[in-house]
């Protein structure tokens, strides 16, 4: 190539078209095409338009050149067309002069020549199809690491078209962290070695993919002129390989740290268990290896689990989980939930068992069911109390009407008074039911402690006939502010304990007194400046042992034995007294009996004073009343009593009737007596309908329910008072006149 061949440009171009072989002439300065014959165009598979330009000699060696030449080696050229067609061919190359310009004569070697155009087209299609469908990308790099050729399927891996890759250094596509290792491998191949390597490639989108390349050197005349190889995407394989490497460690970590107990049982024997399984059984692995899993199952559940295991091995479809009991090393019974699947263990069928301790869960479920049952009982109790109060109200109303027409000196009047007393006793029962339904809510009222003691003793006497209650009640006793039902419950709990301590019968002494806090029996927690009411309850029973005396007020502690006591009686009493700012303590001696002391804050004389209830005929009752109650036995006698007292009464037996009366008579109605439990329209909704008609309406709630809940809400919204059935007409009239007079 050191010598030049001198021919004229016109002769050379004519010669090109006359030659039977493919020949092209390129400007040595910029690689642009100066001329080529048809055979050359065939070899390069030029598009029709570019082929026409070449054959019409529309080649000027400028930027519009249809072909450009890059010489990669003495016998390898790289040809690029404006449409992006690229060809890498072996060729015979000579330098010449054409029109005073230095140029290259390029004649592709015979290996690039198809014999006929038809055969050439077929081979081209086959070759392109082969490259497009290969998983591997075929590439050629020159000695400077530039890409000289790459198969069209490079787009699938990199997102780049082939013409965007050719001419660039392959390092442009390598992840920076892998670049040094990739260059070291490239240099080793240039030194004559063959190498396979894996590295990360950066796609056009920036995504990183793992690739594997197998490459070898390209030799020409014993010299390495470049490298060629195949590139394949191994990202998925790499991830699988990494996952496989980590799988054993991951599974081991999952199993070892699982909160569920995991076993492998084969032929009923334990073959494996994780730390949670060891914890739930309480045994070490060495002590249970190859022992039967059935040994740890509660005897009552063993046959069920053994049968399930047999059916599972027989292929029977079973429920995914089952609950049963196990017994651990300490002898504790635990509720567990089992899930199992069939596996192969060392080539033989086995069961992979997942066991979860649900002891606490089962206990909580039981407590929840009990709470729901108690809530249902509370709702039922409230409903019963409401209906019973309506019955008592009907009795009380009719009796009061009868008494109004009788002389107090008659025997019939005295019988009527006895009925009123019985109604009041029944009212106490309904208050207890409502207290239960309120779930411990307190209703603080002024309480006569001596009367409360007598009432509680009567209740005990009705059930414990063998117990005699003796009283030493102070006659100069102040009242207390308390929830009457709760304090009565405290007394009943203590009295029942006394009765249990005297199974053959005996005497219980109840003493009341008023004293200063400093006089309380050893109770330094009481204020020394306050007055307290003391209730002292003594029995002559078995007494309490010294080793349990400090625990008797603990919840769930009982000495009565299984099934005879809950251990909640005294703990409940303790909590109630503490919530009333009082205190409770006990003195006892085994074989001689026990004495309980209850201290509650006393009301001052001023606080305890209540205005005297005036007689019916002394109350100046007047005004128009709307009385609403869906119980005829309540509605009619109460209306008659109010009319007897001097009121004008509109009666409504339902919400719609009451609403109709109020719409037409609201200007005349001075006060509404409203029952809360009504059909069709509730008392609450009725109240707000009244407020829409007359925002200044005066409403007094008269109901068999307690004040907690809807009544409190209505009072906060503007209702002026509350009275609970059964009430007497004097109480009702006094409250009504107090509301009517407050203008």
* Range with lowest mean pLDDT among 4-8, 84-88, 181-185, 210-214: 4-8
Q: For 157-183, what is the mean pLDDT?
A: 88
The three-state DSSP-derived secondary structure of 211-234 is: EEEEEEEEEECCEEEEEEEEEEEC
Beta-bridged to residue 212, according to DSSP, are 198, 232
pLDDT at 274 (0 to 100): 86
In this model, does residue 612 exceed pLDDT 50? no
Q: How crowded is the C-beta side of 675, counted as CA atoms within 13 Å? A: 28
Query: How crowded is residue 192: how many other Cβ atoms within 10 Å of its Cβ?
Result: 10
Give me the pLDDT at residue 564, please: 47
Per the CB < 8 A criterion, the answer to whether 95 and 103 are in contact is yes
Q: Does residue 1 surpass a pLDDT of 50?
A: no
Listed ranges 314-323, 421-430, 718-727; the one with the highest mean pLDDT: 718-727
Please, are residues 457 and 473 in contact by the beta-carbon 8 Å criterion?
Answer: no
- Hunting for tokens 């030493």 — which residue is that? 472
> Exposure of 379 by Cβ count < 10 A (0-12 exposed, 13-18 middle, 19+ buried)?
exposed
pLDDT digits (tens, 9 = 90+) for 13-44: 677 777 777 888 888 888 888 888 888 887 77
For the stretch 580-585, contacts whose Cβ atoms lie closer than 8 Å and that sit 24 or more positions apart, written own/partner, are 580/480, 580/482, 580/483, 580/486, 580/487, 582/526, 582/532, 583/520, 583/523, 583/525, 583/526, 584/490, 584/553, 585/521, 585/522, 585/523
pLDDT at 367: 57
Enumerate residues 6+ apart whose C-beta is below 8 A from 580: 480, 482, 483, 486, 487, 600, 601
Check whether domain 616-741 has CATH 3.10.150.10, yes or no: no
pLDDT in tens, 509-519: 999 998 876 67
- Residue in the structure block whose two tokens are 């906060």: 716
Domain residues of the chain, as ranges? Answer: 5-113, 121-238, 258-357, 442-608, 616-741
Angle of helix 655-665 relative to helix 683-693, nearest 10 degrees, comes to 10
Q: What is the pLDDT of residue 304?
A: 86
pLDDT at 536: 92
For residues 582 and 532, the answer to whether their CB atoms sit within 8 Å is yes
The structure tokens listed for 281 are: 């059984």
The pLDDT assigned to 104 comes to: 83
Token pair belonging to 682 = 């509730």
- Among 61-70, 198-207, 277-286, 307-316, the range scoring the smallest mean pLDDT is 61-70
d(CA 304, CA 470) in angstroms, rounded, equals: 60
Kind and range of the H or E element at 185? helix 179-190
The pLDDT confidence band at residue 616, using thresholds 50, 70 and 90, is very low
| 520: number of Cβ within 10 Å | 20
Residue whose token pair is 């329910």 = 705
What count of Cα atoms within 13 Å lies in the side-chain half-sphere of residue 342?
15
Mean pLDDT of the chain: 77
* pLDDT tens-digit series, residues 349-386: 888 888 888 887 877 776 566 546 656 655 666 667 66
Task: Please say if the pLDDT value at position 619 is more than 50.
Answer: no
Band (pLDDT 50/70/90 cuts) for residue 177 is very high
When comparing pLDDT for 241 and 535, which is higher? 535
Q: Please tell me the least confidently modeled range out of 142-146, 338-342, 467-471, 614-618.
A: 614-618
pTM over cut 0.75: no
- The reply to whether omega before 79 is within 30° of 0 (cis) is no
What pLDDT is recorded for position 11? 64
Return the pLDDT at 83.
66
What's the CATH fold of domain 442-608?
Answer: Heat Shock Protein 90 (3.30.565)
CATH number of 258-357: 3.30.450.20
Average of pLDDT values for 579-590?
84
List phi, psi (to 5°) of 613. Answer: -80, 120
Domains 121-238 and 616-741 belong to one CATH topology: no
- Please state whether 145 falls in left (phi above 0), alpha (psi between -120 and 50) or beta: left
Distance from the Cα of residue 644 to its chain's centroid = 63
Angle at Cα 701 formed by Cα 697 and Cα 704, nearest 5°?
160
d(CA 298, CA 324): 8
- 582-596 average pLDDT score: 86
pLDDT one-digit tens code per residue, 664-676: 888 899 899 988 8
Res. 315 pLDDT band, cuts 50 70 90: confident
What is the per-residue pLDDT across 110-149, written as a single tens digit (0 to 9) for each?
A: 655 555 555 445 454 555 555 555 667 888 888 888 988 8
> What average pLDDT does this structure show over 578-594?
84
* Statement: residue 471 has pLDDT above 80: yes
Q: Could you please report the per-residue DSSP string of 523-540?
A: -TTS-TTSEEEEEEEEE-
Give the single-character DSSP code of 208. E
Q: What is the pLDDT of residues 523-555, one digit of tens each?
A: 556 777 788 899 999 988 888 877 777 677 765
Cα atoms found within 13 Å of the Cα of residue 676, Cβ hemisphere only: 26
What tokens were used for 180? 């040094």
Instruction: Give me the pLDDT at residue 244, please.
Output: 65
Element (H, E) at 209: strand 208-220
Instruction: Determine the average pLDDT of the residues in 289-316.
Output: 82
Give dist(CA 724, CA 673) in Å, integer. Answer: 12
- For the chain, give the percent of residues with pLDDT over 70: 78
Class of domain 121-238: alpha beta
Q: What would the two tokens of residue 13 be?
A: 């171009």
Whole-number percent of the chain with pLDDT over 90: 3
CB of 532 closer than 8 Å to CB of 548: no
Picking from 729, 41, 712, the residue whose alpha carbon sits closest to that of residue 401 is 729
Q: Give the residue among 609, 643, 608, 606 at the shortest CA–CA distance from 627.
A: 643
Query: How many beta carbons lie within 10 A of that of residue 118, not counting itself?
Result: 9
Maximum pairwise Cα distance, the chain: 161
pLDDT at 6 over 60: no
Report, as an integer, the average pLDDT of 176-193.
Answer: 89
Fold of 5-113: Beta-Lactamase (3.30.450)
Tell which residue, 499, 518, 519, 509, has the closest CA to residue 471: 509
Q: Is 123 left (phi over 0), alpha (psi -120 to 50) or beta?
A: alpha
The string over 470-503, giving b where at least 16 C-beta atoms fall within 10 Å of a residue's C-beta and e elsewhere, is eeeeeeebbbbbbbbbbbbbbbbbbbbbbbbbbe
**Nearest alpha-carbon partner for 435 in 393, 371, 382:** 382
305 touches 297 (CB < 8 A): yes
Lowest mean pLDDT among 205-209, 243-247, 397-401, 646-650: 243-247
Read off the tokens for 293.
Answer: 């899993």
Cβ atoms of 645 and 729 closer than 8 Å: yes
End-to-end CA distance of the chain: 128
Strands 86-98 and 5-6: parallel
């Amino acid at each position: 190539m050191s010598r030049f061949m001198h021919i004229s440009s016109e002769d050379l171009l004519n010669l090109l078209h006359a030659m039977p072989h493919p020949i092209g002439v390129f400007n040595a300065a910029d690689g642009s095409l100066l001329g080529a014959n048809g055979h050359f165009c065939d070899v390069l598979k030029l598009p029709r338009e570019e082929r026409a330009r070449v054959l019409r000699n529309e080649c000027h060696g400028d930027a519009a050149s249809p072909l450009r030449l890059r010489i990669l080696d003495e016998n390898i050229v790289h040809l690029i067309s404006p449409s992006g067609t690229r060809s890498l061919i072996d060729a015979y190359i000579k330098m010449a002069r054409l029109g005073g310009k230095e140029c290259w004569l390029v004649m592709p070697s015979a290996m690039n020549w198809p014999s006929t155009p038809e055969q050439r087209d077929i081979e081209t299609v086959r070759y392109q199809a082969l490259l497009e469908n290969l998983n591997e990308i075929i590439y050629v790099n020159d000695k400077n690491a530039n890409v000289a050729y790459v198969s069209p399927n490079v787009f699938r891996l990199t997102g780049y078209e082939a013409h965007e890759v050719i001419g660039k250094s392959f390092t442009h596509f390598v992840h920076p962290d892998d670049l040094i290792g990739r260059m070291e491998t490239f240099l080793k191949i240039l030194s004559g070695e063959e190498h396979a390597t894996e590295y990360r490639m950066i796609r056009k989108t920036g995504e990183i993919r793992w690739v594997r390349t197998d490459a070898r050197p390209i030799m020409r005349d014993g010299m390495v002129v470049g490298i060629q190889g195949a590139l394949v995407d191994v990202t998925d394989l790499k991830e699988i390989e990494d996952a496989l490497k980590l799988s054993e460690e991951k599974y081991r970590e999952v199993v070892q740290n699982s909160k569920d107990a995991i076993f492998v049982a084969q032929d009923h024997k334990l073959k494996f268990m994780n730390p949670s399984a060891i914890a739930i059984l309480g045994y070490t692995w060495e002590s249970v290896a190859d022992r039967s899993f059935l040994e740890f199952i509660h005897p009552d559940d063993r046959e069920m689990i053994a049968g399930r295991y047999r059916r599972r091995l027989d292929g029977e479809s079973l429920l995914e989980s089952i609950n049963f009991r196990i017994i651990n090393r300490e002898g504790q019974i635990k509720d567990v939930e089992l899930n199992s699947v069939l596996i192969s263990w060392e080539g033989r069928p086995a069961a992979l068992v997942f066991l979860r301790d649900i002891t606490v869960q089962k206990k909580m479920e039981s407590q929840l069911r009990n709470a729901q049952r108690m809530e249902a009982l509370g709702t039922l109790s409230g409903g019963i109390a409401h209906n019973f109060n309506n019955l008592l109200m009907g009795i009380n109303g009719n009796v009061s009407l009868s008494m109004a027409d009788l002389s107090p000196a008659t025997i019939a009047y005295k019988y009527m008074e006895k009925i009123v007393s019985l109604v009041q006793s029944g009212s106490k029962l309904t208050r207890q039911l409502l207290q239960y339904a309120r779930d411990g809510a307190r209703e603080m009222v002024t309480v006569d402690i001596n009367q409360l003691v007598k009432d509680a003793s009567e209740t005990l006497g009705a059930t414990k006939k063998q117990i005699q209650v003796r009283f030493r009640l102070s006659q100069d006793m102040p009242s207390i502010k308390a929830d009457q039902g709760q304090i009565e419950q405290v007394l009943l709990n203590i009295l029942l304990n006394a009765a249990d301590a005297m199974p053959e019968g005996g005497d219980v002494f109840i003493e009341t007194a008023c004293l200063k806090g400093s006089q309380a029996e050893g109770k330094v927690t009481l204020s020394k400046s306050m007055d307290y009411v003391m209730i002292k309850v003594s029995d002559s029973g078995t007494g309490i042992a010294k080793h349990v005396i400090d625990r008797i007020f603990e919840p769930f502690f009982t000495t009565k034995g299984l099934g005879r006591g809950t251990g909640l009686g005294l703990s409940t009493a303790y909590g109630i007294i503490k919530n009333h700012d009082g205190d409770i303590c006990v003195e006892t001696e085994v074989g001689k009996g026990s004495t309980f002391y209850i201290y509650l804050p006393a009301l001052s004389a001023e606080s305890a004073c209540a205005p005297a209830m005036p007689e019916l005929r002394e109350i100046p009752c007047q005004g128009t009343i709307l009385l609403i109650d869906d119980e005829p036995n309540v509605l009619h006698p109460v209306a008659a009593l109010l009319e007897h007292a001097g009121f004008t009464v509109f009666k409504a037996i339902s919400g719609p009737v009451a609403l109709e009366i109020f719409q037409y008579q609201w200007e005349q109605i001075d006060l509404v007596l409203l029952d809360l439990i009504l059909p069709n329209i509730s008392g609450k909704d009725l109240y707000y309908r009244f407020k829409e008609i007359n925002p200044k309406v005066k409403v007094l709630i008269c109901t068999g329910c307690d004040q907690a809940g809807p009544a409190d809400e209505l009072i906060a919204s503007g209702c002026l008072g509350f009275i609970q059935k059964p009430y007497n007409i004097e109480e009702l009239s006094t409250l009504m006149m107090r509301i009517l007079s407050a203008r």
